[in-house]
């Protein structure tokens, strides 16, 4: 394991959260935060450096949390009817120690964030789905995603089932729930999506109307236990330990028109190096770990993902939704905290990266969602973003 942030040695007391009704405008680079409380906007001056939020190392943050009334992470952002909706994990405080299985990430419900514009007030909506309302689920509602089709909103979510493994934990499956509102409440189907496994669903709809689900994650996400197409309850807790072999790949499956089932058997999303060879398992700065996200721009498909234990967000490009995708570089350098899970959308003729760090708590399992502009060079490459500024 290569942990860039040994957080237990750096933890600080969690910052008290604002009242649940508080709304926050995100701080983009150079903008002062504005706090909305009780319907009144009060600008916080950026002219007072001594009051400016700083990391434990004294660095300035590129952006500020979207909301501070709850902890949020793994933001899947979408534009529906001109409005921005963010579907994050809802972090909760627990006493569990950090481990490779992710037991410290004990989330049990989802709450949707909504805003009319980037930089505007953000609303924390009521509970959209609770684990107790998913008949087959046991615990840990991790990173979700959403989609819209024909008047219905679909919420896709990974959660452990009730079949326990060697660690006394359920197997991750991917469920689907529906609503007529983008913020819910959502009603879950009685069973997980047939053929689904692991975590981090991300649904991409192509210009021709076909929708695809990308999913998977190693370590706590259990992808390494599916290497032969069948779940091994006694398999590795991390990866396959084959550094000189092609890395484990995230998965893709085209969805049926009902948006609730796979139209095909999931297949690998292969990431190639500059020589056209598969990225190897030992290449922890380039190999896939979790957090697939796909978008199309300039005739190219961008496959973006997290490297996990080296804490980068990466991107690779290809000519179709299935790939293969050729590795191109880092999107985001390591943030404060362990995980980097993201989404990318186009809004108001610009592109935006949603991500999370641990600014509010300095604890790995208590995160806060942020947003910053994502830029492209003339050749379609993405300049690397530093989550801190000098």
Please list the active-site residues. 74, 290
Determine contact, residues 77/85, Cβ cutoff 8 Å.
yes
Write the DSSP assignment of 313-355 as a string of letters.
EEEEEESSTT--EEEEEEEE---SSS----EEEEETTEEEEEE
Alpha carbon distance 160, 154 (integer Å): 19
- Percent of the chain that is helix, strand, coil (3-state, to 5): 5, 40, 55
Six token digits for residue 255: 């969805």
The backbone region for 203, taken as left when phi is positive above 0, alpha when psi lies in -120 to 50, beta otherwise, is beta
Pairing assessment for the beta strands 325-332 and 313-318 based on DSSP bridges: antiparallel
Write the DSSP assignment of 99-164 as a string of letters.
-TT-TT----EEEEEEESSTTS--EEEEEEEEGGG-TT--B-----EEEEETTEEEEEEEEE-S--
Alpha carbon distance 325, 314 (integer Å): 12
Determine contact, residues 85/112, Cβ cutoff 8 Å.
yes
Contacts of 315 (CB under 8 A, 6+ apart): 302, 303, 304, 305, 328, 329, 331, 382
Task: Quickly count helices (H) and strands (E) in the chain.
Answer: 0, 25
Determine contact, residues 281/191, Cβ cutoff 8 Å.
no
Alpha carbon distance 83, 222 (integer Å): 35
Q: Is 323 exposed, middle or buried (0-12, 13-18, 19+ CB in 10 A)?
A: buried
Determine contact, residues 78/149, Cβ cutoff 8 Å.
no
Alpha carbon distance 52, 76 (integer Å): 28
Alpha carbon distance 68, 35 (integer Å): 10
């Amino acid at each position: 394991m290569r942990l860039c942030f040994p957080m237990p040695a750096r933890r600080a007391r969690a910052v008290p959260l604002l009242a649940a009704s508080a709304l926050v405008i995100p701080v983009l680079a150079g903008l002062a935060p504005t706090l909305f409380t009780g319907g009144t906007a009060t600008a916080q001056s950026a002219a007072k450096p001594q009051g400016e939020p700083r990391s434990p190392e004294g660095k300035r943050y590129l952006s500020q949390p979207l909301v501070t009334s709850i902890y949020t992470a793994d933001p899947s952002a979408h534009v529906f009817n001109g409005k921005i909706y963010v579907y994050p994990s809802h972090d909760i405080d627990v006493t569990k120690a950090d481990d490779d299985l992710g037991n410290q990430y004990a989330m049990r419900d989802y709450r949707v964030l909504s805003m009319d514009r980037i930089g505007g007030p953000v609303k924390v909506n009521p509970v959209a789905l609770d684990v107790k309302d998913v008949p087959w689920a046991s615990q840990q509602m991790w990173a979700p995603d959403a989609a819209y089709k024909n008047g219905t909103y679909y919420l896709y979510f990974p959660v452990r089932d009730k079949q326990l493994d060697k660690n006394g934990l359920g197997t991750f499956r991917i469920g689907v729930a529906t609503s007529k509102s983008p913020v819910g409440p959502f009603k879950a189907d009685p069973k997980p999506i047939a053929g689904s496994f692991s975590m981090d669903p991300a649904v991409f709809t192509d210009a021709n109307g076909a929708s695809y689900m990308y999913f998977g994650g190693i370590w706590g996400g259990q992808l390494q236990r599916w290497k032969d197409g069948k779940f091994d309850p006694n398999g590795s807790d991390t990866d396959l330990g084959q550094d000189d072999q092609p890395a484990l790949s995230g998965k893709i499956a085209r969805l049926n028109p009902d948006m609730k089932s796979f139209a095909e058997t999931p297949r690998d999303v292969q990431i190639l190096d500059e020589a056209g060879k598969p990225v190897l398992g030992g290449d922890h700065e380039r190999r896939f770990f979790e957090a697939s996200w796909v978008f199309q721009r300039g005739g190219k498909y961008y496959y973006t993902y997290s490297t996990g234990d080296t804490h980068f967000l990466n991107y690779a490009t290809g000519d179709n939704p299935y790939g293969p995708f050729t590795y191109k570089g880092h999107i985001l350098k390591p943030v404060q905290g362990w995980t980097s899970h993201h989404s990318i959308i186009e809004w108001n003729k610009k592109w935006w990266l949603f991500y999370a760090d641990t600014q509010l708590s300095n604890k790995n399992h208590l995160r806060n969602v942020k947003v910053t502009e994502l830029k492209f060079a003339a050749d379609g490459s993405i300049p690397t973003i530093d989550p801190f500024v000098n």
